[in-house]
Amino acid sequence: MKKWGFLLVLLLCLVLTFLYNGSFFESKADLPNVEVQKYDQSKDKRASGNSQQKDITEEQIYQGNLLLVNSKYPVHPESITSDVVDLFKHSELVNGFGLLDRTYLSENLVRKFSAMMAAAEKEGVSDFFITSGFRDFDAQRKLYQEKGSAYALPAGYSEHNLGLSLDVGTTQMAMAEAPEGKWIEQNAWKFGFILRYPENKTDITGIQYEPWHIRYVGLPHSAIMKEKGFVLEEYLAYLKEKKKISAKVKGEKYIISYYRFSENMTIRIPENHEYEISGDNMVGVIVTVYE
C-alpha cells in the first residue's frame, strides 16, 4: 500500500512539474495588462481646435515598424531600415547575447534587444545567441539558391530583408524546449517584440512554426497582439476593421488609428503629443498617438 502511495505522489509531482515548466499556462505577471476600447469619436470634435495637420505621402505606406512582409507583400527598397551595422565591428552593441556568425542588424533594434536580454538575465535566463539578422537582397537570393524553398524565401519576401527581425538561439537545446525560447514567448511583448510565426497560426502566416524568429513592432502593438493572440496579419486586419481604438498598456494610454491612403491625404494629430506613423506595406498607414 505504501508503495502505491509513493508512486501516486511521484506521478503527481511529475505532472505538476510538466505544467509548471511547459507552455500549458503562463503566469498572470507574464500577460499584458491591456484595455482596448472602441474610440469615443466625440473626443475628436472636442480636440479639433488643438490639433495639427499632417500630410501623408504614398511612400509612408512602405515605412515603419508595422509593415507586413509575406508571400503577397514584398519588401520595398524604401522599407529597409537605414541604420544597419555589422555587429562584428561594433562589439560595444553586443550585450547579453553572443553571435554565431557575422551578423548585421539595425543599431536601434539591437539596443532594444539588449534591453530585453538584460531583463532575461535578471531572471536567470542568459544563454542567448543571435543566429541571423538583417540580410540584403543579394544575401537572401544566395541563401535561397543554396538552401531552396524548404529553408529560405526568395529575395524581398523575407522579414530578414526588412531589418526588423532576427533569429535567436541557444546552445542548450532547441528553442521550442529551451528556457530561452519559453522566456521570449512569454516576455518579448514587454519590449515591443513578437514571436512572428507561432505554432498555431501557420495557416495565416504561411510559415511553419519558428520559435526562434522574433520581430519588432513596438509598444503598444506587441502588447495588444499578445493579449488578443494576434499575428501581424490578424492585427492589421483588426485595425482596418475598427479604424480607431484606444488602448491602455501598463498605465500608458494610446490612440491607434488606421487610414487607407488616398491622394493629397492629410490627417489631424493632437498637438503636444508624441506620435508614430507606420505603413502596413499594403494600402494604408497606422498612426499611434501617445496620450
Q: Catalytic positions, please?
A: 210
CA–CA dist 250, 238 (Å, integer): 21
In terms of C-beta density within 10 A (0-12 exposed, 13-18 middle, 19 or more buried), how is residue 164 classed?
buried
What is the DSSP track for the chain?
Answer: -HHHHHHHHHHHHHHHHHHHHSSS---GGGS--EEEEE--THHHHHHGGGEEEEEE-GGGGG-STT---SSSSPPPGGGS-S-EEETTS-GGG--S-EESS--EEEHHHHHHHHHHHHHHHHTT----EEEE----HHHHHHHHHHH-TTT---TTSSGGGTTSEEEEE-SSS-TTTSHHHHHHHHHGGGGTEEEEE-GGGHHHHSS--EEEEEEE--TTHHHHHHHHT--HHHHHHHHHHHSEEEEEETTEEEEEEEEE--TTEEEEEETT-EEEEEE-SSSEEEEEEE-
- Residue found by looking up cell 492629410 in the block: 266
Whether the bond into 220 is cis, omega within 30 of 0:
yes
